[in-house]
Each structure stands twice: as C-alpha cells, then as structure tokens.
C-alpha cells in the first residue's frame, strides 16, 4: 500500500487559466478522502495530476517513491480514475470488450483477461449485459461500466470524479455500495463531489478547494460546519444537529 504525497503542486493551463496553485497534501494508504469545492475550484485538475494525465507547471506528486510526471504510465497502473462523463470512457463495442480493453493493453493472456472480465462483471453487477452495446446502458450502468474498466487494471488507488452526477437515488446508492466495497478491499479511495451528504460519513478526511487553492482539510465531523463559506452545502443532518449520515445509513 502506497502513500500519495502532493508537494507544492501548481498547474497553469496553456491559455493562462490557473487550474490549481501550490497544493500540499498527503493521503495515507487506505484512506477514503472526499475532495469538495465549487465548480472550477480545481478538483479535477488536481486529481488528473495524481494519475499523470496532466503535468505540473511546478511541484510534484509522488506515489510512494514514484514521481508521477517521470513515469505517468506506471502511475496510471497504480491509480485508476472514473471520470465524470462515463461516455468519454467507453472504448469497446460490448460491455465485455470494453472491460477487457485495459488488460489487453497490459498484454495479459486471453484466458486471464476472460477470467478477470467475468469476475468484474459480477462485482459491479452488470451480469446479463456482457454482450450489450455500452451506448444502450442507463446512466447508472454506464458508470458501473466505467468502474469495471478501472477495476480491470486492479489499481491500488481509485479516484471517482463526481460519481453521483446525473444519477437517480437507486443509482447513487448502487455506486455508493461499489465505493464502500472497493474501500473494504484495502484500496485508497478519492472522491470528488460537492454532494457531501451522500458520502461524507464514510470519509476519513475532507479536503476543500477554493479558487485552485487548498482552503481547508481535516476530519469531516470537525470541519463540516465551515463548508458553506467555501460554497459547499452543509448536509441537512449536520445542520439539524444529527451529525453526519450517508445515503447508505
Ligand atoms: N482545459 C482547460 N483549459 C483551460 N482552463 C481550464 C481547463 N480545464 C479547467 N480549466 C480551468 O481550471 C480551473 C479548475 O478547473 P477544474 O479542475 O475543472 O475544476 P473543478 O473540477 O473543481 O470544477 C477552472 O478555472 C477552469 O476554468
Ligand atoms: Mg471537475
């Protein structure tokens, strides 16, 4: 299990837009961290540096001893990212071939790929849909497929970018269940969301970004009363004095 260390990380986009500025953050193995912040606060930009999709303008991200920008392909094996837009992650003609895409690129043997795909389809609950076209799946099923594609690479660290976006209540609960199940398999989980009430009771830490900077971080129950000054809604249960609840409680 590997620690993530983000040191003095800044990213300027080519058009001069500042994505993030001087972020310092450590994430311990096995944590479930929620990263929250208003639209445009830098959440996605930050996380794309953890799996090497963006290169720092200054500063570094380390996963254990690995400096991510020196070996982004290795970083992508350690860190899987489930993107906000599930459609953008679809690469296969069928559910099975979509999930097999990553392991095929790793050069695994056909028998092993098939076994992996079969197991993962069960885990995410897409059984019976193996031969369907991904484009015919519902929003929730597409997100499950995106999770399956990430799981097929067996990463130690999984980032979910707005995992509840556009999902109805049952869809959100199913994704929550997946996240909990993955966390129980000793993985480090990072969740980007501004919908704190769905997940915050499960988190070990809350990190708040504002205008590209790390505005606040800490144990959720300790800092939850401060979130609204950063444009994030305080969960109703907390407002009413019932502490932190998740949608699974
Ligand atoms: N490809 C891009 N080119 C230029 N600016 C960008 C790009 N992507 C994001 N930004 C800018 O970087 C800032 C942070 O964006 P982002 O990380 O997407 O925020 P969040 O995920 O919190 O909504 C915003 O000001 C946004 O406009
Ligand atoms: Mg984003």
In angstroms, what is the span from residue 46 Cα to ligand 1's centroid?
10
Do residues 135 and 146 lie in contact, with contact meaning Cβ atoms separated by under 8 Å?
Answer: no
Ligand nearest to the CA of 207: 1
Do residues 44 and 36 lie in contact, with contact meaning Cβ atoms separated by under 8 Å?
Answer: no
Structural domains counted in the chain: 1
Task: Round the CA-based radius of gyration of the chain to a whole number and report it.
Answer: 18
Q: How far is CA 232 from CA 6, 79, 195, 221, 235, in A?
A: 23, 27, 8, 15, 9
In angstroms, what is the span from residue 33 Cα to ligand 2's centroid?
16
* Residue 44 is assigned to a structural domain of this protein: yes
Nearest CA, atom 25, ligand 1:
40
Q: How many CB atoms lie within 10 A of CB 58?
A: 12
* Residue 244 is assigned to a structural domain of this protein: no
* Residue 249 is assigned to a structural domain of this protein: no
Say which DSSP state 233 is in: P
In angstroms, what is the span from residue 81 Cα to ligand 2's centroid?
12
3-state secondary structure of 86: helix
Q: Can you give the pLDDT of all 249 residues of the chain as single tens digits? A: 799 999 999 999 999 999 999 999 999 999 999 999 999 999 999 999 999 999 999 999 999 999 999 999 999 999 999 998 888 888 999 999 999 999 998 889 999 999 999 999 999 999 999 999 999 999 889 999 999 999 999 999 999 999 998 888 888 898 999 999 999 998 999 999 988 999 999 999 999 999 999 999 999 999 999 999 999 999 999 999 888 887 776
- What is the extent of the structural domain holding 230? 4-239
Pairwise CA distance, residues 79 & 66, whole Å: 12
37 CB within 6 A, ligand 1: yes
41 CB within 6 A, ligand 1: yes
Q: How many CA atoms does the CB half-sphere of 192 hold within 13 Å?
A: 24
Pairwise CA distance, residues 77 & 184, whole Å: 20
In angstroms, what is the span from residue 106 Cα to ligand 1's centroid?
31
* Residue 100 is assigned to a structural domain of this protein: yes
* Residue 158 is assigned to a structural domain of this protein: yes
Ligand nearest to the CA of 35: 1
β-bridge mates for residue 218, sequence order: 206
Can you tell me which atom of ligand 1 is nearest the CA of 18? 12
40 CB within 6 A, ligand 1: yes
In angstroms, what is the span from residue 159 Cα to ligand 1's centroid?
17
**Ligand 1 mutation pick, 11, 12, 13, 54, max ligand atoms within 8 A of CB:** 13
Pairwise CA distance, residues 214 & 29, whole Å: 20
Nearest CA, atom 10, ligand 1:
19
Residue 219: give its domain's CATH number. 3.40.50.300
pLDDT value at position 130? 96
* Residue 31 is assigned to a structural domain of this protein: yes
Distant-in-sequence, close-in-space partners of 171: CB < 8 Å, separation ≥ 6: 138, 139, 140, 143
Q: How far is CA 28 from CA 57, 62, 99, 101, 157, in A?
A: 24, 12, 29, 30, 11
In angstroms, what is the span from residue 139 Cα to ligand 2's centroid?
18
Torsion of CA 66, 70, 72, 77, to 10 degrees: -30
pLDDT value at position 87? 86
Pairwise CA distance, residues 123 & 192, whole Å: 22
Ligand nearest to the CA of 46: 1
Look up the pTM and report it: 0.94
Q: How many CA atoms does the CB half-sphere of 18 hold within 13 Å?
A: 12
């Amino acid at each position: 299990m590997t620690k993530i260390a983000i040191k003095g990380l800044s990213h300027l986009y080519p058009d001069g837009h500042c994505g993030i500025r001087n972020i310092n953050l450590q994430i311990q193995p096995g944590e479930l961290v929620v990263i929250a912040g208003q639209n445009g606060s830098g959440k996605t930009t930050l996380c794309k540096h953890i799996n090497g999709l963006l290169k720092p303008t200054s500063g570094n991200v380390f996963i254990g001893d690995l400096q991510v920008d020196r070996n982004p392909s290795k970083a992508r094996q350690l860190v899987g990212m489930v993107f906000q837009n599930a459609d953008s992650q679809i690469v296969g003609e069928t559910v099975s071939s979509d999930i097999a895409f990553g392991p095929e690129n790793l050069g695994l043997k056909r028998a092993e790929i098939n076994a992996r795909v079969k197991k993962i389809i069960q885990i995410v609950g897409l059984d019976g849909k193996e031969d369907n076209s991904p484009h015919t799946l519902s929003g929730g099923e597409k997100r499950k497929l995106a999770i399956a594609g990430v799981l097929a690479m067996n990463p130690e660290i999984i980032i979910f970018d707005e995992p509840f976006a556009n999902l109805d209540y049952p869809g959100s609960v199913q994704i929550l269940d997946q996240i909990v199940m993955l966390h129980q398999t000793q993985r480090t989980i990072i969740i980007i969301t501004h919908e704190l009430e769905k997940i915050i009771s499960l988190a070990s830490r809350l990190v708040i970004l504002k205008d590209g900077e790390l505005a606040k971080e800490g144990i959720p129950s300790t800092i939850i009363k401060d979130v609204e000054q950063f444009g994030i809604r305080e969960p109703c249960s907390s407002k009413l004095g019932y502490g932190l609840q998740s949608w699974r409680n």
